[in-house]
Structure 1
Amino acid sequence: MFVRALALRDFRSWPRVDLELHPETTIFVGRNGFGKTNLLESLYYLATLRSHRVAADAPLVRTGATAATVGATVQNDGRELSVELTIAAHGANKATINTAPVRRPREILGVLRTVLFAPEDLALVRGDPGERRRFLDELVVQLRPVAAGARADYERVLRQRSALLKTAGAAMRRSRSEADSVIATLDVWDEQLAQFGAEVTAARLAVVRELEPLVGRVYASIAPHSRAAGIGYRSAAGPDVDASPGGDDQIPVIREILAERLAQMRTKEIDRGLCLVGPHRDDLQLNLGSEPAKGFASHGESWSLALSLRLACVDLLRADGVEPVIMLDDVFAELDAARREKLAEATGGAEQLLITAAVVDDLPAGLGGRRIAVGTHEHDGVRSSQIIGDSLAGDQAPEAQAPEEQVAGEQVAGDSAPPEEEPADD
C-alpha cells in the first residue's frame, strides 16, 4: 500500500499543497515549526479519523478558514481509491470515496492503513491510561473498520449516562417520582452501555492477544539485555474480563459481566456523579519482568517499549494482509544511535516510508530516498508552510529557509501543538 497523491487545503499551516508520492522513502526536511508534522498528521487522520496530537478537530483547520480538506489517492495491490475528507471547524465532517459522498466519514476507514511513530509515543509508557486506550482503539479500527461504529455508539451513550449521573443524586433527593424516573432511565442507559461497551472491549482484547507475542519478540530484539516485556488488559469490570480472549463470540459474556458490575456500582456512581465502569476506564498494562513499566522503566527502556508497540502494529497489519504506510515523525532525534539503527532496520522494508527531520544529521547513515524541503512564506503577517525544494538524497539539498527569514524558535501556527490532555481517571 502507498499514497500516490496528497492534497491539502487549509489544513493546519498549509493553505494549499499538492504532492505526488511514490512507493519509496520520502524525507521531509525543515526546521521545527515549519509544518512537516502536519503532512503526516493529515494522512494519519485519514487512516484513523483522529489526530495523534489533539483530541478536537478545530485546531486542524487553518486560522481564518471554516473547514480543512484532506485528499489522498491510495494504491493497494493494483487497486486505486481516492478519498477526501472535509474537516469542519464547527459541525459535522464530510467524506467522499472516488468523488462519491458517503453517509458517514467512518466509511473511509480501511482505505489507508498507517503506523505512525512520533515523539508523543513515550506517553504510551509514561502517560495516563487514556493514551494507551487511544492507541488500542486506533489500531482496532485499522484492523476492523466496522468497530468504529461500536466505539461511536459507546461514546454517545457514555455522554448521556454521565450527564444523568451528574444530576441523579439531587433529583433522587427531591421526590420519589423523580427517583423512580432516574432509576428507570439509568436502566435503559445501563443496558446500552453494557452492550456497546462489550463490543468495544471484545475488539480491544482480541487485538491485545495478537499483539502480546509480537511486542515481546520485538522488545527482545531492541533491548536484548533488558527484562522481558509483556502486555495485558486491565478492565474496570474486573479480572473476568481481563482473562477473556476477546473477539465477537465473547461479546455476550462480557456484556453480562459489565451489566452486573454496573448494577453493583450504581449507588457509588450516583454518589460521585461519575460512570465508573466501562472501557473508558480500562487500561493497557505494560510490564517489564514482574513490574509495571510506568514508574519502573528507565528512559531507554521506555523508548524501547514504545517502539516495540509500534513495530508490533506493523507486524500485525502485515499479518492481516496489508503493507501499511510507515511514518516516522522526527522520532530519530529522540533516540540514541543504537535505537536509530534498530528502527531504520525494522522499517527499511516498508513499501512507503515517510519521514520528517529537522536536522539531517539525526537520520541514520546511509538512509537514502527522496528529500523534500519544507519552508515558510509570510503574507500580510500570516506565515504559511510551503514546499521549497525536492531532491534525491545525495543531491544538493535546498536550504530550508532563506537566511533573512530564519528566526530561531519561530513556530508556524498550527504546527507542533501540544496534545490536549484527557481527564485523569478517578
Structure 2
Amino acid sequence: MSQPARVLISRLTLTNFRNYASASLVTDARLVALTGDNGAGKTNLMEAVSLLTPGRGLRRAAFADIVRKSPPHLQGPDQETPAPDGWSVSALLDGDNGETRIGTGFSLDTASRRVRIDGAEARSADSLSEYLRVLWLVPSMDGLFTGSAGDRRRFLDRLVLAVDPGHGRRVADFDKAMRSRNRLLETGGEAAWLDAVEAQIASLGVAMAYARREAVTLLSSLITEHAGDDAFPEAALSLEGPFEALSASIPAADLEDAYGELLARGRPRDRAAGRTLEGPHRTDLAVTHVAKAMPAGLASTGEQKALLIGLVLAHAELTARVSGLTPILLLDEVAAHLDPSRRAALFSRLDMLGGQVFMTGTDRALFEALPENAARFAVSDGSVSSLD
C-alpha cells in the first residue's frame, strides 16, 4: 500500500473571526500546542481550521454568529470603525503534493459562504475535501457514549464523511426528502407525490446505510490491528436499529424496494406521529469496551475518554489510508484529563500517525512530553505568538 501524501498547514490566517480581528499562525511543525487561559481563543483557532472542510465546523455554528463583534465603544451609528461584514479563514497547505492556498469566508450582506482554491472561486465547499481532511475531538464529545443516539449518528456520519466525501451530500439530500415526505403526510399530499419522494428516500437511505456499514467495517478492522494497546483500549463497533435489522435480513439488491414498501405501508402511522419512524435516520452507533465486555456507556469516565481517543486515532489512520492524504487532527483540551503515562502514549501515537495535529490546553506543562520538533504557541485575547 502506498504511503499517504503528507499535508500540513504552514500558514493559517483569520480575519474578523470570533475574537480575532486579524491573526496569523506560521509553522512547519507536525505537532502544534496552543496554550492560554480559558476564553483566550484557542478553540476559535481550532474552529477556523475545521471550517476549511465542508460543513459547519466543530461547533456547528451558524456562519453569521462567527463574525467578530465590534468593541462596545465603537458600536453605534457614529462608530469610527465599521462593523465587520463577514469573516474569512485561509491556509497555505504544504506537503508532498506541493503548495496549495485554500480559503473560505462568509458575507453578512449576501448571507453566503464562499470558497477559493489557489485564488479561484470553487463551485462548493465540497471541493475542499480534495486538498484537506480535518478530524477533531472536543470536550463536548466526552458524553458521546452516554448521550443521545442523534449525537452518535452525527459522529458516525463525520467518520464516514472523512473517508467518503459524497456522504455529506447524501445525508443532506436524505434529510430534505424526509422533510418533504413529512409535509406531504401532514397536508394530505397525493399518493403519486408520496410515491416519488419515498423512492428518493429509499435510494438515498440505502446508500447512506451501506456507506456507514463500510466505514464501520474498515474502522473495526483497523482498531483490531492496535488491539492490546493498554493506553487506549479496544472498542468494538456495530450499527443498531430497525433499519439495520431489515437490511441484514434482505439481499442488498432488494433492500431499496423493501424500504420503499415499508415507507408506503407506514404512511398512516407516520401521519399520526408527525414524523417518519422507519429508516437509517434512526440508526445508532453501539460501542463496546472489548476487554471488559461492556457497553462503553457503562465504563468509567476515564475509560470512556480513552476509548474515544483510541477511536479518533484509528479514524485518523483510516482516513489517511483511504483518502491518500494525512488528515489534520484537532484535539481540544485532550491532555488535561489524562495521567502522565497515557499523555505520553498519546503524543507517541500522534507522532507515529505522520499527520499534523493541533492541541490546546491551559497549562504549558501538559505538553512537556512532546518531541523537540513540536511547535508551541501562546494564545491571548485576539493574538497568537510563538513560544519557541
The TM tier, using the shorter chain, reads 0.7 to 0.9
Residue 22 in 1 paired to residue 28 in 2?
yes
> Where do 4+ consecutive residues of structure 1 move more than 6 Å?
none
| Equivalent in the alignment of 1:411 | none
Deviations 1:340-382 (A, max 9, x none): 1221121023342222111112235354422211112xxxxxx
Alpha-carbon deviations, 1:191-221, whole Å to 9, x = none?
1111112222221111011011333454641
The answer (yes or no) to whether the contact 2:27–2:375 under 8 Å persists in 1 is no
Change (3 A) 1:27 1:153: same
Task: Output the CA distance in 1 between the equivalents of 2:31 and 2:176.
Answer: 40
- 2:378 is aligned, of 368, 373, 376, to 373
1:67 aligned residue (78, 81, 86): 86
CA distance in 2, matches of 1:391, 1:223: 29
Residues 87 and 339 of structure 1: CA distance in aligned 2, closer, same or farther (over 3 Å): farther
Give identity over the alignment, percent.
29
Matched to 1:149, the amino acid is: R
Residue 48 of structure 1: how far off its partner (Å): 4.0
Letter paired with 1:268: R
CA distance in 1, matches of 2:223, 2:144: 13
Match of 1:345 among 342, 345, 348: 348
Mean alpha-carbon deviation: is it higher for 267-276 or for 155-164?
155-164
* Aligned equivalent of 1:415: none
Aligned-pair RMSD on alpha carbons?
2.5
Aligned to 1:304: 306
How far apart in 2 are the matches of 1:156 and 1:134?
16
Q: Distance in 2 between matches of 1:56 and 1:253?
A: 40
| Residue 272 of structure 1, CA deviation | 0.6
Which residue of structure 1 lines up, in the alignment, with residue 73 of structure 2? none
- State the partner residue of 1:275: 276
From 96, 100, 106, the counterpart of 1:87 = 106
Q: SS at 2:11's partner residue?
A: strand
Distance in 2 between residues matched to 1:201 and 1:371, nearest whole Å: 42
Deviations 1:95-124 (A, max 9, x none): 121111122222222311123232223133
2:169 is the alignment partner of 1:130: no
- CA change 1:66–1:136 in 2 (3 A) is farther
Q: TM-score, normalised by structure 2?
A: 0.85
Q: In the alignment, is the contact (CA less than 8 A) between 1:7 and 1:72 conserved in 2?
A: yes
- Name the counterpart of 1:208: 216
- 1:191 corresponds in structure 2 to 199
Supply the distance in 1 between the matched residues of 2:350 and 2:312 (Cα, whole angstroms).
11
Q: Letter of the 1:374 partner, please give it.
A: V
1:13 and 1:219, CA in 2 relative to 1: closer, same or farther beyond 3 A? farther
Q: State the distance in 2 between where 1:37 and 1:197 align.
A: 34
Q: How many residue pairs get matched?
A: 363
| Per-residue deviation, 1:16 | 1.3
Query: Take 1:48 and 1:147, find their aligned partners in 2: how far apart are those partners?
Result: 11
Following superposition, the deviation at residue 55 of structure 1 comes to 4.8
Does the 8 Å contact 1:340/1:364 carry over to 2?
no
Instruction: Report if the CA contact (8 A) 1:222-1:304 is conserved.
Output: no
Shift of 1:79: 2.5
Shift of 1:242: 5.3
Mapped to 2, the partners of 1:266 and 1:287 lie a distance apart of 35
Long gaps (5+) in structure 1:
172-180, 377-384, 393-426
**8 Å CA contact retained: 1:29, 1:373:** yes
Instruction: Report the Cα distance in structure 1 between the residues aligned to 2:124 and 2:131, rounded to whole angstroms.
Output: 14
Q: Does 1:58 find its partner at 2:64?
A: yes
Q: Which residue of 1 aligns with 2:318?
A: 316
User: 1:10 aligns to what SS in structure 2?
Assistant: strand
Change in Cα spacing, 1:126 to 1:219, as seen in structure 2 (3 Å) is: farther
